[in-house]
Structure 1
Amino acid sequence: MQKEEITYRGAVYPWHCDHVGHMNVMWYVGKFDEATWNLFHRMGITAKYLRENRRGMAAVDQHIEYKRELHAGDVVTVRSTVLELAGKKVRFRHEMVNEGTGEVSAVTTLIGVHLDTDARKACPFPAEIAGA
């Protein structure tokens, strides 16, 4: 397991909010997705790696816990941790914190699969990523 690290910082904008004034669930997922790509980059799963090796990543499982509401103007940070990387899959966790209050707003755990884009099926991570 890796240490937790910051993978996203951003703000909640008025257009992120729903009819009752809270950040809509689609924006939680979007901010977590941006954090995922930053986490992958740090692991060596870069855009260059994916293009040059004809590889891809696919989310196959995601669980989200919404703990505290976010509103327009709130600044958030996502901290991420790789929980497991073995064979063809990676399991990781993101925690979204409201920087103004210090409260955890949401937590998500995901499983991603490493893909061979030519064969259109899952394949093992190379040693340089699996050992990271």
Structure 2
Amino acid sequence: METQTEVTYRGTVYPWHCDHMGHMNVMWYVGKFDEATWQLFSGIGITPDYLRDTGHGMVAVDQRISYRREVLAGDVLVVRSALLEVRSKVIRFCHRMENAATGEVAALTVLTGVHLDTTTRRSCPLPEEQLARAKARVTDLDPGL
């Protein structure tokens, strides 16, 4: 997966990320994947400035997560991401969270996001520039979910 992906997140698991079982709680997996999402989107021109200036947004309409390995306080994580499908209003993408020291896959997720007009709260087409940048980065990667 590495050759078709880009690093979109790197960070540490802190003790407050862990639950009573001693491993990172599921809410933090989702949070770290969310940070990776905004890095991925920024690379195709869906930046905070773009969203603020145009009155557009991105909403998640589907997310599937597979938890593969525990991560513990002190572990360093890296998330690698790829675009899987891009249509006029829709972007489907994946993230793979790895333990940076061992290379073990901790979790995988596949998400579908929809571009919307924040005033009408309805989906709308991506601008040509962002659409072209996204389509150019689509891979044939099978994330395994």
Aligned amino acid, residue 120 of structure 2: A
Residue 11 of structure 1: aligned partner: 12
Please, what TM-score do these two structures have when normalized by structure 1?
Answer: 0.97
CA distances 1:63-109 after superposition (whole Å, capped 9, x unpaired): 00000000000000000000011011100000000011110000000
Aligned amino acid, residue 88 of structure 2: G
Q: Distance in 2 between matches of 1:3 and 1:38?
A: 16
Residue 22 of structure 1: aligned partner: 23
Is it true that 1:116 corresponds to 2:123 in the alignment? no
Q: Write out aligned runs for 1:94-105 (5 A).
A: 94-105=95-106
Residue 40 of structure 1: aligned partner: 41
What is the identity percentage for the equivalent residue pairs of Structure 1 and Structure 2? 62
Q: Distance in 2 between matches of 1:120 and 1:76?
A: 35
Aligned amino acid, residue 41 of structure 2: F
Kindly state the Cα deviation for residue 3 of structure 1 after the two structures are TM-superposed. 3.4
CA RMSD of aligned residues (A): 1.1
Q: How many residues align?
A: 131
Structure 1: gaps (5+ residues): none
CA distances 1:18-66 after superposition (whole Å, capped 9, x unpaired): 1010100000000000000000101100011111111011000000000
Instruction: Give SS of 1:33's match.
Output: helix
Q: Distance in 1 between matches of 2:4 and 2:126?
A: 20
Please list every run of at least 4 consecutive aligned residues from structure 1 whose deviation after the TM superposition is greater than 6 angstroms.
Answer: none
Instruction: Give SS of 1:91's match.
Output: strand
Kindly state the Cα deviation for residue 119 of structure 1 after the two structures are TM-superposed. 1.4
Is it true that 1:128 corresponds to 2:129 in the alignment? yes
Higher strand share: 1
Residue 140 of structure 2: aligned partner: none
Is it true that 1:71 corresponds to 2:46 in the alignment? no
Q: Distance in 2 between matches of 1:130 and 1:86?
A: 8
Structure 2: gaps (5+ residues): 134-145
Q: Distance in 1 between matches of 2:119 and 2:31?
A: 27
Q: Distance in 1 between matches of 2:47 and 2:23?
A: 33
Residue 91 of structure 2: aligned partner: 90
